[in-house]
């Protein structure tokens, strides 16, 4: 088991997706992220979409959306979908959803990724991810490491940040439980479903 940990940490480190490259979530939106109201979604639009998708009250949705908006500003899009994960120290996460951009673009996306941490178990969750700084829809197809220390719970909804190439993603999950903040890793977004999470 020790060899597995060492190999996975080495792999993540060599690929440059470890937490050392993560930025603090309190930083302002990455340079180049637009805040033009015509190109972004409002707090009210996102709050309504989150409330409808998660089936929670508008107050609960509003409180978590306000927290993310305070950190990141107005998003250019969002991804809604579902995912499943399993972990025994080394974890795997797989998901699928639809990306919606303010300009009307809609794309099917998949994501998968490994993690290492002090978590055991499995879960399924609905996911609603806010998208920042994405100017070309094709740029979503990258590896996005988690931002160290960014995981928190608001109104029973788990939130963390992922960042790469001036693009920030803010996944909000229901039913994440103990797995939130208990591991490090990345998610790779892709055009097609993949079995291998790398």
pLDDT, tens only, 24-70: 333 344 433 446 777 899 999 999 999 999 999 999 999 999 999 99
**Percentage, residues of the chain above pLDDT 90:** 47
| 126 strand-pairing partners | 82
pLDDT in tens, 95-123: 999 999 999 999 999 999 887 665 555 66
Please, what is the average pLDDT of the chain?
77
CATH architecture of the domain with range 2-190: Beta Barrel (2.40)
Q: What is the pLDDT of residue 93?
A: 85
pLDDT at 15: 36
* Choice among 18-22, 127-131, 133-137 with the minimum mean pLDDT: 18-22
* Predicted pLDDT at 183: 55
3-state secondary structure 150-175: CCEEECCEEECCEEECCEEEEEEEEC
State the Cα–Cα distance between residues 110 and 30, nearest whole angstrom: 24
Write down the pLDDT at residue 190.
95
The pLDDT value given to residue 3: 39
pLDDT of residue 176: 52
Q: Domain residue spans in the chain?
A: 2-190
E strand intervals along the chain: 77-101, 106-132, 143-145, 152-154, 157-159, 162-164, 167-174, 183-190
Q: The pTM is what?
A: 0.76
């Amino acid at each position: 088991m020790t060899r597995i940990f060492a190999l996975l940490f080495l792999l993540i480190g060599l690929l440059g997706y470890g937490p050392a490259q993560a930025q603090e979530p309190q930083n302002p939106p990455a340079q180049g992220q637009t805040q033009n109201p015509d190109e972004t979604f409002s707090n009210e639009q996102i709050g309504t979409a989150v409330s409808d998708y998660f089936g929670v009250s508008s107050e609960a949705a509003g409180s978590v959306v306000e927290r993310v908006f305070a950190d990141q500003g107005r998003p250019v899009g969002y991804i809604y979908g579902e995912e499943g994960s399993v972990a025994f120290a080394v974890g795997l996460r797989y998901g699928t959803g639809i990306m919606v951009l303010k300009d009307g673009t809609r794309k099917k996306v998949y994501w998968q990724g490994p993690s290492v941490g002090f978590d055991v178990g499995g879960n399924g969750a609905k996911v609603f991810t806010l998208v920042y700084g994405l100017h070309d829809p094709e740029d979503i197809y990258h590896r996005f490491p988690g931002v160290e220390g960014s995981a928190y719970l608001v109104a029973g909804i788990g939130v963390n940040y992922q960042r790469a190439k001036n693009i920030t993603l803010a996944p909000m999950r229901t039913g994440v439980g103990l797995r939130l903040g208990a591991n490090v890793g990345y998610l790779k977004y892709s055009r097609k479903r993949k079995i291998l999470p790398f």
